[in-house]
């Protein structure tokens, strides 16, 4: 179990997907995303296993929630800088966690 103090160290922000493309080199089906986290953080890259529920063209422009202060992670030839958050549906396909209203990119979760 973690403490509230430890949880507060996790930087979870809202971002807007500005680019999505196939990631055929990934071991599991995934997309390469570029997400805009606003003027303070700018654009960050993420690999996300979203192919079962989303198409690239439908992701662009969507708001998403991501952890922005984890160390970068190499996934094959790609470096993922953000953990895009989602939960599995009843079939195990990832469903994105998203704000239920429009908010500016870069907003931090409290």
Residue 90 lies in a domain: yes
**Residue 110 confidence (pLDDT):** 84
**Residue 14 confidence (pLDDT):** 98
At 26, give phi and psi (nearest 5°).
-70, 145
Residue 21 lies in a domain: yes
Residue 107 lies in a domain: no
User: Terminus-to-terminus CA distance in the chain, angstroms?
Assistant: 19
The answer to whether the predicted template modeling score (pTM) of the entire model surpasses 0.85 is yes
What the block records as the tokens of 20 is 């999505």
38, β-bridge pairs: none
Q: Into how many domains does the chain fold?
A: 1
108, β-bridge pairs: 13
Could you report the per-residue pLDDT of 65-77, keeping only the tens digit for each?
Answer: 999 999 999 999 9
Residue 108 lies in a domain: no
**Residue 49 confidence (pLDDT):** 97
Residue 45 lies in a domain: yes
Residue 57 lies in a domain: yes
Q: Note down the domain range covering 82.
A: 4-96
Distance CA 98, CA 58 (A): 14
Rounded mean pLDDT, 29-41: 98
- Check which CATH number belongs to the domain holding 52 and give it: 2.40.50.140
């Amino acid at each position: 179990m973690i403490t509230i103090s430890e949880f507060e160290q996790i930087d979870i922000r809202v971002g807007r997907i500005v680019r999505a493309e196939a990631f055929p080199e990934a071991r599991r089906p995934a997309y390469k995303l570029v997400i805009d986290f606003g003027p303070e953080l700018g654009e960050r890259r993420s690999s996300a296993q979203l192919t079962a529920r989303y198409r690239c063209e439908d992701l662009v422009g969507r708001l998403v929630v991501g952890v922005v202060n984890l160390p970068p992670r190499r996934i094959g030839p790609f470096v993922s800088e953000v953990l895009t958050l989602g939960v599995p549906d009843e079939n195990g396909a990832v469903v994105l966690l998203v704000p239920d209203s429009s908010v500016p990119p870069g907003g931090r979760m409290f």
